[in-house]
Every structure is written in C-alpha cells, then in structure tokens.
Chains A and B, each alone.
Chain A
Amino acid sequence: MFIVKFVFLHFVCLLQREREMALRNIMGKRVRIGLMGRRLLSTATCDVESGNSKSINLYSAINQALHVALETDPRAFVFGEDVSFGGVFRCTTGLADRFGKARVFNTPLCEQGIVGFGIGLAAMGNRAIAEIQFADYIYPAFDQIVNEAAKFRYRSGNQFNCGGLTIRAPYGAVGHGGHYHSQSPEAFFCHVPGIKVVIPRSPRQAKGLLLSCIRDPNPVVFFEPKWLYRLAVEEVPEHDYMLPLSEAEVIRQGSDITLVGWGAQLSIMEQACIEAEKDGISCELVDLKTLIPWDKETVEASVRKTGRVLISHEAPVTGGFGGEISASIVESCFLRLEAPVARVCGLDTPFPLVFEPFYMPTKNKILDAIKATVNY
C-alpha cells in the first residue's frame, strides 16, 4: 500500500517537475513551485505523509534554507558575528562544518563593515548573505544599505548591482528584550526604493521566502521574528522551494473587516480574529510578506470585499509602515470604506523594559479596535 502510494507520489512529483520545466520555458525564467505554495495539482498530492516534510521550528527552517542556498550556489557566502558556531539563535548551525570556513565565517564586531563588505562581494556577482545579530544593531549599517546597496544599480546605469546581497536580522519583541533586543526597524527600510524588505510569519514561509530573497536579483533585508524562532513549529518541506516575493497572502477568509500584518504579529491578530468570530465578526487576515514592494492589489481586493481595514505592527505607530498602507488604501478605496482605517501598533515610546505588555499591540487592543471599526 505504502509502496503504491510512494510510486504514485513519485510519479506525481515527476509530473510536477515537468510542469515546472514547461513553465520555465513559457516564462523564460526559473520558476519553482512550492509543494504547498502555488497549488497547480490537487491538494491530495505530495503531502506530509510521504516524508517530504518535517515538523520543525523557525530557526531550523532558516538553517535548512541556508544549507540549500549554499549547496545550490557555489558562490554563496554566509557571514556575520558568531555565525560560525551556529549563531546566537542557531540559524547557521552546521554550515561552517559542511561548506568550510572560506564560505561561512565570522566577522569582527562592525555592522557597517559587514554590510559594506557584503555589498562589495555581491557587486562581483556572489551571493552575500550577511547576518546582523539583532535588528537593533543594524543602524551603523544603515548608511551602507540606504546609500550604497539601494542605489548601486541606479547610479551606475545598470553596469553594476549588488543584487546578490541578502541581509538577515532577527527583529521584534521577545518578552524580555528591552530597548536594544526588541526593535522593529522595518519602517526605516521601507522608505528606500532599491531594496526589498521581507518578513516571514512561520517556518514554512521563512524557508521559501529566504530562498527567494537570496536568489532575487535585488538587495533584500530579511527580518526574522525572533519570538518565533523556537515557538513556531510547522510542517516544512525538506526540498528546495521558493515562495514568490511581492505577493501578499490571505491566510484567513472573512467578510466584515480586513486585517493586514506581518511577522509574529499575525499570530496575535489571528487570536483576535478567532475571538471576534465569537461575536459574529468575520475577519479576513492578510499577510503582507513583502513590505516593499508591497502587494497593493491583494490588499485592495480584500478591502473592496469588506470595506474596513485594520493594520497592526509592533513598531511605534507614528511613522510605522501602517501609515503607508493606510494612505494607499484610502487613496484607492475611499468610497468603499465604511470606517476609518485603524492602526493598532506599538506606542510612541522607546521600546520599554518592564512596560512591554503595555507597549505591545496585544490581542485585546486589536479586538477592541475590530469591534470599534465594525460598529463605526
């Protein structure tokens, strides 16, 4: 029975590979279809039981992605502070042993140097995967990212580019991080045309998105929600797969209000949605995934369906990326909106120490806002 199933699945996977190749020919570029991503075949195929995916957590998924990236591209490098023994969050375990110290190496404590060095490496056609130990430390490298990485292709008239650069950084609150281990700096980078900002919500998403980011011909800043490193466990396919960038995903269907978020915040929003369901409010939850360039179509389509939108992120509300989404939605869907766009975000204070529970956009704050918006 098992053998039959195995053979069947093997056959089906072969079919899928043929389809991939067909697509490749049509579209003229490499397109990989994730097993659970774009569903071209019926859902009964290539699933969990065959042993194709395993239940792992976020840091293991990222680790797998990095293993795949280095395996498939001999010119890929991983570097950063303490990556060689596995990194402070174990995302880079086993890489140095498997690929050698020439490709996986530690850098001294200098973020500006790390990113600048990565830009140079990428400019020569390599895939530079730089790790910034905590997103809170990315600011010395901010100049390099904004002034060098983002503008390299533009100012050289496409002669040079640093598309092979991917900067990975753990971001977000973790319960006890305090001022300098909990920040969400995504908004600063969303203001820079020339780079992409990608934030996964779960292990399966993380592996696919990270591989897409690494292979994307543009510099990408990839923020990983550190709270989910151990907490989030999911079935992740063991093979190489990529998830498309700049495509938002509707992860929960609804009809009364659209909730937009990314990263760890989505799990909080999902809890709020479940609670709101008990009060008869049907919520649609959208994961933005890529913050710039963001998928306006999907969000607008959802807002046109529901007429209400709520955005939630951990970063402080003023100047946060929620403002951009709000302004854009109002521009395009003004007449459809039934209520003002709600933003439930972090407060306008430095990320506090003992006051973290007050600062965070919690489930109750979101639930409150959902009800207020629906009853507007």
Chain B
Amino acid sequence: MALSQLLSSSSRSGNRLKSLSSAISLRHPISTDTTPITVETSVPFTSHQCEVPSRTVQTNAKELLTFFRDMALMRRMEIAADSLYKAKLIRGFCHLYDGQEAVAVGMEAAITKKDSIITAYRDHCTFIARGGTLLEVFAELMGRQAGCSRGKGGSMHFYKKDSNFYGGHGIVGAQVPLGCGLAFAQKYCKDEAVTFALYGDGAANQGQLFEALNISALWDLPAILVCENNHYGMGTAEWRAAKSPAYYKRGDYVPGLKVDGMDVLAVKQACTFAKEHALKNGPIILEMDTYRYHGHSMSDPGSTYRTRDEITGVRQERDPVERIRKLILSHDLATEKELKDTEKEVRKEVDDAIAQAKENPVPDSSELFTNVYAKGLGVESFGADRKEVRATLP
C-alpha cells in the first residue's frame, strides 16, 4: 500500500500517461503471490507477565517482497540524507534510522492507518512507513515548502495527520505521555484502535515515562509503549545509564515483550499480538532489540563509544534487509537480479525525489509568524525596536 502512494506522489508533476508509462518501464512488478509461507522468527520472544506469541509467522511472497522494497527504500533514503547533510543542503540536526528499518516496516504491517504512532526524533522512516512521500521527506529536511511540515519543522518534526502519525519530537521522552493521551482519546471514542508510543533506551530513564505508564495501566488505555533499544543513548551504552537494561520488564505491573527488532517478521508478529492485548487488557511494553549503524546524529561519528567491529558484526549477522533478501532467495520468491533491480529502482526514486526537492523554494518569510497561535493569526513586528505589532487576520 505504501508503494503505490510513493509512486503516485513522486510523479506529481502531472502528466498521468507519462507517469504511467514511466511507472511501467521502471517499476519492477512485485509478485502478487499470496500463498502462505511459514517462517520462524530469528529468536523466540521473551515475555514479562504475559503469554509469549508464537515463533512461527505466516507470511507470503507479496508481503516479503514489499518488506524488502520498503526497507531498501528507507535504507537508501537515509544514506542519501547523509550525503545531503555533508553537502550542507540539510542543516541543523539529522538523526538517521538505518539499521532500524525493520521496526518501522514490521509495525506498519501489523496495524492500520487508524492506529496512531508517535515517536521521537529518529522519524524519517516511520514517516515513510505511514505513507509519507520521499519528496516530503527531502523537502522537509532541506527546509523547503513541499516538506510535510511546510519546512518549519525540520528533521525532528515530521507529521502526517491523515495517517495518524503524530510525529516527530525533539525533547527526549516528551512524546510518551502524549502517546498515552492519544490512547485515552481512542478508548474514549471507542475507535478500536491503539497508539504506539516509541521511545529509545535513553528516554527509558525519564520520569515522565513512568508517570504515563502508571496512568495508562490505571485506566486500561490501549497504549503500546515501544522501546527501540539500539543500546546507545547518544554515546552512553545502556548498561551505563540503566540499572535494569531489560526495558520490557521495567513496566513492573505492565506486561512486556522482548522482540528481535532486526527481524521484520518478529516485529510484525509482536505488534499484532500487542494490538490485540492492548485493546483487551491495557498497556503493554515492547522492547525492540535493534541497532543503528550511523551515530546518534550527523555530528556523531558513532565510533568513539563502540568499535567498528561491533558495527560491521551487526551488519553481517543481523541486517534487516539482508535477512529478508536471504529469506526471499531461499524460498525462490525472486532472483538475485530481480532484487538488485528493485534496489536500483529505489535508488532512482530517491534521486528523483532529491532533485525535485532541491528545486523547491524555501517557505516565504511571512511564514515565520504563521501558526504561532490558532486561526492563522500572523503577527508581524515593525519599527526600529520592533514594538509595533500588526496582526493579520484570516
């Protein structure tokens, strides 16, 4: 579903026929084979105060190839963002998600757009998974008008209202109480939907998290707190920041599940399980054991607090894209060439989106004043000491 949206919006420039023909010539047809395939997750789940979901997952060729394409797209997008940052087209802060793609993709596969997701600042891929387009991503990163937040949010503040993606938060841990509030609203309105509030291992030590957890448990809110444990809070290893790095157990009275976050099928299984659980019994914590290849942000080389061997080790053993590639090849769902072609297509899509985003203008300077308050009440200040203020009413 994410794919068709990506394609249709990346050729927004109008000519339907042209876009269709280019789509046909470029786009590699993904197998629509839906015969079920049974796969086992990499490791069994471990749980705290709840039953363990089955290790056997049902999937099919279509789903696996979609996973591959989506994760390859995200991987390429993050690497392209890295180069753009070094070329100083993206400024400010840029936190890259490569290595963790399985969490975003697996979660999306388990839920609908009615369920809400709220996350921290490492949000580029979650935004794509929720249906965002590459153009919106790159434009927002470069601070242009076509960005999802109109160029005013930047890397850390991606939002998508129509797919219930509540962003994109710079302050560590602040999004978790918000997420529990979303869950409250969902329960109140009888939406039969859940909220996934994502946070990192660094944020797991924030007090507001436990406040939110207590309230969610008290009122049985359909909140799923997902700890994306990439083992480093910026430069601090988890064992140096937390007395108990078993984040799935930190809920105490709230059940928890530990998941291999590099296995997209495990993530999907866990999220399906969690959604069912949350709708019936209230909050649950999911700990995604994942890893990021880049440093914390673009100003962090990522090698001062961990060895290069560790990074290459994870890349070789546990890379999410490689795992799916091996699965696809071992089940003969596609040839190696077809997968390489998919990656090439994805690369081209990313390059096209970047080119389009570069052409896009920066927001008009009057945008500095818009949306401070509601009703588009723009306020402009004039005069030598900027005392005279003029408000433009809608």
Contact = CB atoms under 8 A, between A and B. Distances in A.
Nearest to A342: B385
B179 interface: no
A168 interface: no
A187 interface: no
Contacts of A136: 171
Contacts of A117: none
B33 to A, nearest CB: 45
A112 B211 CA distance: 13
Interface stretch (A102-110, A208-216, A226-234, A279-287): A102-110
A359 B208 contact: no
A91 interface: no
B369 A349 contact: yes
Interface string A333-372: 0000000001111011110111100110000010011011
A310 B205 CA distance: 44
B173 A354 contact: no
A137 B383 CA distance: 33
Nearest to B241: A108
Given A108-B205, A109-B203, A85 B235 contact: yes
Nearest to B173: A109
Contacts of B151: 353-354
B236 A106 contact: yes
Contact of A347 (B171, B172, B362, B386): B386
Given A140-B207, A176-B92, A344-B386, A352 B241 contact: no
Contacts of A177: 92
Interface stretch (A4-12, A178-186, A197-205, A238-246): A178-186
Contacts of A371: 384
A298 interface: no
A257 to B, nearest CB: 12
Given A349-B372, A359-B368, A369 B143 contact: no
Contact of B234 (A82, A365, A369): A82
A180 B258 CA distance: 32
B273 interface: no
B384 A355 contact: no
A354 B362 contact: yes
Interface residues of B, number: 44
Nearest to A317: B386
A255 interface: no
Interface string B369-390: 1001000000101011111010
Size band of the interface chain A makes with B: 35 or more
Contacts of A344: 385-386
Contact of B171 (A178, A180, A310): A180
Contacts of B305: 85
Interface in B147-194: 151-154, 156-157, 170-173
B92 A110 contact: no
A247 interface: no
Contacts of A125: none
A369 B388 CA distance: 13
B53 interface: no
B233 A347 contact: no
B300 to A, nearest CB: 9
Nearest to B209: A110
B246 interface: no
Contacts of A368: 384
A349 B368 contact: yes
Interface centre among A179, A342, A348, A355 (most CB of B within 10 A): A355
A342 B384 contact: yes
B152 A352 contact: yes
A352 B372 CA distance: 11
Contacts of B92: 176-178, 181, 353
A109 B143 contact: no
Nearest to A182: B92
Interface string A315-345: 0010000000000000000000000001111
Contact of A350 (B236, B242, B372, B381): B372
A137 B369 contact: no
A113 interface: yes
B152 A353 contact: yes
Interface centre among A345, A348, A372 (most CB of B within 10 A): A348
Contacts of A348: 372, 379, 381, 389
Interface of A: 81-82, 85, 106, 108-110, 112-113, 136-137, 140, 176-181, 310, 317, 342-345, 347-350, 352-355, 358-359, 365, 368-369, 371-373
Given A177-B92, A372-B383, 20 more contacts: A81-B234, A85-B304, A106-B241, A108-B202, A108-B233, A109-B173, A110-B206, A110-B207, A112-B207, A140-B208, A181-B93, A310-B385, A342-B385, A348-B389, A354-B152, A355-B368, A358-B368, A359-B368, A373-B384, A373-B385
12 contacts: A81-B234, A82-B234, A177-B92, A180-B171, A181-B92, A181-B93, A317-B386, A343-B385, A349-B368, A353-B152, A354-B152, A372-B383
Interface of B: 91-93, 143, 151-154, 156-157, 170-173, 202-203, 205-208, 233-236, 240-242, 304-305, 362-363, 365, 367-369, 372, 379, 381, 383-387, 389
